[in-house]
């Protein structure tokens, strides 16, 4: 069995204001790439120091070299274009005002060509500076046909979404193999797209596109497994993180895991599932009965969307409730998602973020020692 890492976190952290300013200046042509990298390095060192102070089990660079959890793909692959019109509009709900209709305007508008590695040289600095095992994240290939396939544009190069998915799967599989060659000990795939198969609204959306949700779900699992083929090995943790959207504290999908749980949990070839469970939107713990007993379930019980700190007694109660459906010794704890899946970050402060992670560590120690 892979390392358990009882106190985990999804990966992204709030960008310090100094880093946001440096990146904005870089985009405006006012500072060089070297100057931006110096700012990234400094912010990463501080984030690593905070993670060490808190006592998390595995270290990330906060995704500070990225503008978003998925944007390494658009940066590394030629063929994405801005049409000015989103391929799909999602209604994002949550704190910070009224629901917002937002969509990605970067769509596939040519045959895709890999220019360079998705994560570039992000691992080198992280591995050199981290005081413990490191985690790197990659997006699932399923993310992009869902939001970057525009009829009348993309279909000129990829007749179906399945054709595009096959192309993207090759890119991400190659990146995972590169991360393994780099000696990364924890590789996590971020997969918000499974939310389409638990939310009736999004299942209807797929049907409206002429896509059968059941067949699309099976294709999604197969694509993720293809990416992760041969990744599980001694000394390496392979994980899948599943959520329902996380952008400036808002979400776009809801629904429990039950409709897909048996095929999802038994079908994905991973060591570890990081599962959103901070609100009723994620449903009950009952679907955990389908997780094979040789896997690790990381309960995402703390919210990365809101600053209010969870009550530890309630966290302990919920862990006990989950243990009715899955062995306690094969569980761990984390926030439900990253604190900044996109660079703008969620609506909480850095101090609130660190207190959340302190609570993860302290609660994990109380439960598992």
Quick one: pLDDT at residue 325? 98
The pLDDT of residue 70 is above 90: no
Quick one: pLDDT at residue 73? 86
Domain 17-368 listed as CATH 1.10.760.10:
no
Question: Mind listing the pLDDT tens digit for each residue in 244-269?
Answer: 988 889 989 999 999 999 999 999 99
Question: Distance between CA 264 and CA 266 in Å, rounded?
Answer: 6
Domain definitions of the chain by residue range = 17-368
The pLDDT of residue 276 is above 80: yes
Contacts of 318 by beta carbon, 8 Å cutoff, 6+ apart: 277, 299, 301
Question: Mind listing the pLDDT tens digit for each residue in 297-334?
Answer: 999 999 999 999 999 999 999 999 999 999 999 999 99
Beta bridge partners of 101: 91
The pLDDT of residue 96 is above 80: no
Average pLDDT over residues 7-35: 95
Cβ contact 279:329 at 8 Å: no
Cβ contact 346:305 at 8 Å: yes
pTM greater than the 0.75 cutoff = yes
The pLDDT of residue 57 is above 90: no
**What is the token pair recorded at 212?**
């059968």
CA-CA distances (angstroms) from residue 269 to 157, 162, 230, 272, 280?
31, 21, 10, 9, 27
């Amino acid at each position: 069995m892979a390392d358990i890492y009882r106190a985990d976190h999804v990966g992204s952290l709030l960008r310090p204001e100094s880093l946001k300013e440096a990146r904005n200046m870089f985009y405006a042509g006012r500072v060089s790439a070297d100057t931006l990298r110096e700012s990234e390095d400094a912010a990463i060192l501080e984030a690593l120091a905070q993670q060490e102070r808190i006592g998390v089990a595995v270290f990330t660079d906060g995704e500070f070299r990225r503008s978003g959890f998925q944007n390494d793909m658009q940066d590394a692959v030629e063929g994405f274009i801005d049409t000015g019109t989103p391929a799909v509009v999602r209604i994002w709900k949550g704190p910070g005002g009224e629901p917002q209709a937002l969509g990605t305007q970067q769509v596939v508008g040519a045959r895709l060509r890999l220019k360079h590695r998705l994560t570039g040289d992000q691992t080198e600095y992280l591995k050199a500076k981290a005081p413990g095992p490191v985690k790197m994240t990659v997006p699932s290939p399923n993310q992009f046909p869902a939001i970057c396939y525009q009829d009348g544009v993309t279909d000129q190069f990829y007749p179906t979404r399945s054709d595009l998915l096959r192309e993207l799967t090759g890119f991400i599989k190659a990146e995972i193999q590169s991360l393994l060659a780099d000696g990364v000990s924890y590789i996590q795939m971020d997969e918000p797209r499974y939310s389409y198969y638990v939310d009736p609204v999004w299942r209807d959306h797929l049907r409206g596109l002429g896509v059968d949700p059941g067949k699309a779900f099976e294709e999604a699992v197969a694509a993720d497994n293809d990416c992760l083929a041969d990744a599980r090995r001694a000394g390496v943790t392979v994980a899948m993180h599943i959520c329902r959207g996380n952008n400036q504290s808002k979400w776009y999908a809801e629904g429990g895991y039950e409709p897909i749980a048996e095929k999802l949990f038994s079908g994905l070839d991973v060591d570890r599932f990081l599962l959103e469970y901070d609100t009723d939107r994620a449903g009950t713990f009952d679907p955990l009965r389908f997780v094979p007993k040789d896997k690790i379930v990381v309960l995402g019980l703390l919210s990365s969307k809101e600053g209010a700190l969870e009550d530890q007694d309630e966290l302990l109660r919920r862990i006990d409730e989950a243990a009715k459906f899955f062995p306690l010794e094969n569980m761990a704890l984390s926030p439900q998602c990253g604190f900044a899946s996109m660079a703008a970050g969620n609506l909480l402060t850095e101090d609130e973020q660190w207190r959340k992670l302190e609570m993860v560590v302290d609660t994990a120690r109380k439960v598992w020692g």
